Chain A
């Protein structure tokens, strides 16, 4: 097992190089000149622009830019963004906020998704099953930017149960509503995945055996049905953590959360290569590590799964 984990960590190196190269190339291919855009509607002052291009290495060909970036990573100096701030400081600000948000969203979708999915599966075709189906259809059918604004308006403004936007500290309490909004989309997936898995396992021989053995219903459900139903759900949740961290552009925008998604979005729009690559690199690391954890969880959930071969 230790060898397996070590191997997985060694794989980080090619992943890191591949991801940074690909992302840097994408940013390099972004249309429009980021320096010219700094001038807004005003005419571009070519002297100033040339000076700035040089400062951000934008006058270099792609490979040189990329190698310079790699060098900056290995010297632990990620350089400055367009507003003159160290990118490392920017990362230090945005990731903790978004990590809180993403983890809360994950807990929300995992808890309610699994709970409702389990009940719906156990009572297939009954009223509860139909109700959660309609609820998940609403979540799927209405985009998050509409749903988010509606919840913000009704819960935040009309009822006043929560502040419509997140305070500067972005505390756990502030993030409850945004986390629910962020988790809603994935909630539908978790719910239906759980429901389907439960349906499959309910008819499995070992469940019948367990039932036949005279185990209590709750024990059958908990130990035999639920645990064996979790593999697809866990796969989904693990992959979702990364998606929630990087993909919260809309939710962060609605609730004015100064997190990864918004910073990434702005950096993409303004073409700040090093900022984009740095953020995405951290995201890739999160993916790789969360995927490793999931693979280890597989083995725990189903002892027949082994990786030693």
Chain B
């Protein structure tokens, strides 16, 4: 390949940046920096069509999220292990966990030349939270004082009282209550700054977003339903410096197709190996694969409003179900190792994770104990043998059928009850039943972390009345433990409290944890330096050509 003058220069800059980030991150970056590689190559990766205009606070799904993440830089970003690293922030400090002072680096600019100041952040966050702007991720600002007023329906207040600009590079944030893990959230895309043009015309901006991240959208780069082309942003100077000539997200309708493209080297990086290729991909790709756990899990939630599943008998039955599932066998046979049996309600990549929380033995396969518990529950409240235990799932995407079938068969075999998978045609239909509380059996649930924190896996799902509490679980003991954990002075003390709260969950089992997600991806013969982040998304910026 012939090097142009600029690509060579870019390469040198990239190497320099690497050296710098190597010092800063204490050498945690294991894949990057080992080989040089061709830094001028445009990486072709798989993506999906964003559902909404590309506005940071309006994007909450993978397709758009991946792009937003690369064209915007927030106060912090996460390193491959999920540790927050300052990106635009100089410092984020609070003595009490409630009143934060945030200093940002000076001289930062959007790619259109507009300067990024403390005011930019305050305006962007206010925009995201204000009701009239109807931003899907507005809820992420809920901890900030004044959010309730700004987000109330029909509200005319469009600023949050908790945000105050001190000077060009400093602003303060007052929260409703102390939250030790709040700074962890700041790497989520909703907290990114947006230029003033975005606030004036969000629709138009969403088509051709202008950001400050390691990449920028190429001219006419978003060809809807076809591809999204990103080119490096030469002015970006942070931990995620681009080491390639750009990234083009080719939009795929399904992973099977993307896999065929990968096999013929038309695609460089495939984020997720499809289920249909799990038994072949290692022989197909050789050493061009990666298997890395990330912050996501799979559970089945069993609503407590169903009479058979309430009270003490319900609890015993849930424990019996949990012990009747042979997680090792399913992860091995069905997923070919692309999942790890769960030991708790969170995910192993998170800071504070423990695989030996008291009660985790309830997640181990134990045929005799499962039968005993089921019989014991039967003694309290008879299980009608004609009842079918069903597991609801959405059939439109996600490939859940194969594992639901395996779980159902194990339940039939171990407990001798009738069981079946219950597919819903669309995701929204299954969500409707879940939110309305009209499920007739268990429901597939699962969580992908928004930000690397144990709380993110517990609070939004199992707290009494929480938005994603499909099981309608309500236990004051758990709520108390969680609230204490949030108010803890430090993140590590908070983590201990969170794990304490998990002990309650592991006995009650409002949902039955099944396995942790493992990112299993592959790449073509043309690229190298592929590694994945804590969230299971490839670190596109460090991929180089061969």
Contacts and interface: CB of A to CB of B under 8 A. Distances in A.
A–B contact via C-beta, under 8 angstroms? yes
Contact of B226 (A82, A85, A168, A252): A168
Contacts of B467: 42-44
A158 to B, nearest CB: 9
Interface string B45-76: 00001111100000011000000000000000
Given A46-B153, A82-B51, A156-B260, A93 B431 contact: no
Contacts of A34: 428
Contacts of A269: 396, 426-428
A254 B225 contact: no
Interface stretch (B130-138, B488-496, B523-531): B130-138
Contacts of B381: none
B207 interface: yes
B256 A32 contact: no
Contacts of B134: 47-48, 51-52, 55
Interface in A90-132: 90, 93-94
B213 interface: no
A84 B257 contact: no
A18 interface: no
A41 interface: yes
Nearest to A268: B426
Contacts of A168: 223, 226-227
Interface stretch (A9-17, A63-71, A159-167, A234-242): A159-167
Interface string B115-159: 000000000000000011011101100000000000111010000
B253 interface: yes
Nearest to A80: B203
B372 to A, nearest CB: 34
Interface in A16-36: 30-34, 36
A48 B142 CA distance: 13
| Residue among A34, A55, A266 facing the most chain B CB atoms (10 A cut-off) | A266
B460 interface: yes
Measured as residues with beta carbon below 8 angstroms from the partner, the interface class of chain B is 35 or more
Contact of A164 (B153, B254, B261, B447): B261
B468 interface: yes
A48 B428 contact: no
Contacts of B139: 42-43, 45
Contacts of A82: 51-52
Nearest to A41: B468
A48 B134 CA distance: 4
A41 B257 CA distance: 26
A73 interface: no
A214 interface: no
A46 B151 CA distance: 10
Contacts of B93: none
B138 A48 contact: yes
B403 interface: no
Interface in A266-300: 266, 269-271
Given A82-B51, A168-B226, A253 B257 contact: yes
Nearest to A266: B49
Interface stretch (A205-213, A221-229, A256-264): A256-264
Given A43-B466, A51-B131, A254-B257, A160 B264 contact: yes
B151 A93 contact: no
Contacts of A52: 134
A295 to B, nearest CB: 36
Nearest to B61: A40
Contacts of B251: 256, 258
Interface in A140-157: 149, 152-153, 156-157
Nearest to A50: B153
A44 B347 CA distance: 24
Interface string B181-196: 0000000000000000
Contacts of B263: 157, 164
A200 B257 CA distance: 44
Contacts of A30: 426
Contacts of B468: 41-43
A153 B260 CA distance: 7
Contacts of A41: 445-448, 468
A41 B207 CA distance: 25
Nearest to A252: B253
A84 B207 contact: yes
A37 interface: yes
A39 B226 contact: no
Measured as residues with beta carbon below 8 angstroms from the partner, the interface class of chain A is 35 or more
A32 B432 contact: yes
Contacts of A305: none
A173 to B, nearest CB: 15
Contacts of A263: 225
B206 A84 contact: yes
Nearest to B131: A47
A134 interface: no
B389 interface: no
Nearest to B50: A83
Contacts of A80: 203
A255 interface: yes
Contacts of B447: 41
A38 interface: yes
Contacts of A55: 134
Interface in A49-87: 50-52, 55, 80, 82-85
Contact of B52 (A84, A157, A255): A84
B60 A39 contact: yes
A43 B253 CA distance: 26
A215 B281 CA distance: 62
B429 interface: yes
A250 B35 CA distance: 42
A32 B53 contact: no
A34 B50 CA distance: 16
Contacts of A83: 49-53, 224
A253 B254 contact: yes
A199 to B, nearest CB: 41
A6 B527 CA distance: 61
| Residue among A160, A254, A256 facing the most chain B CB atoms (10 A cut-off) | A256
Contacts of A271: 426, 428
Contacts of A51: 131-132, 134
Given A93-B224, A255-B257, A156 B153 contact: no
Interface of A: 30-34, 36-48, 50-52, 55, 80, 82-85, 90, 93-94, 149, 152-153, 156-157, 160, 163-165, 168, 252-256, 258, 262-263, 266, 269-271
18 contacts: A32-B431, A36-B435, A37-B428, A38-B60, A38-B136, A41-B447, A43-B467, A47-B131, A47-B153, A48-B136, A51-B131, A82-B51, A83-B52, A93-B225, A156-B264, A157-B264, A256-B251, A256-B253
Task: Across the A-B interface, give the 7 residue pairs with the lowest CB-CB distance, nearest first.
Answer: A43-B467, A32-B428, A37-B428, A51-B134, A258-B225, A164-B260, A32-B429
Given A37-B428, A254-B254, 16 more contacts: A32-B431, A33-B428, A36-B432, A38-B136, A41-B447, A42-B468, A45-B139, A48-B135, A55-B134, A83-B224, A157-B264, A254-B257, A258-B226, A263-B225, A270-B51, A270-B428
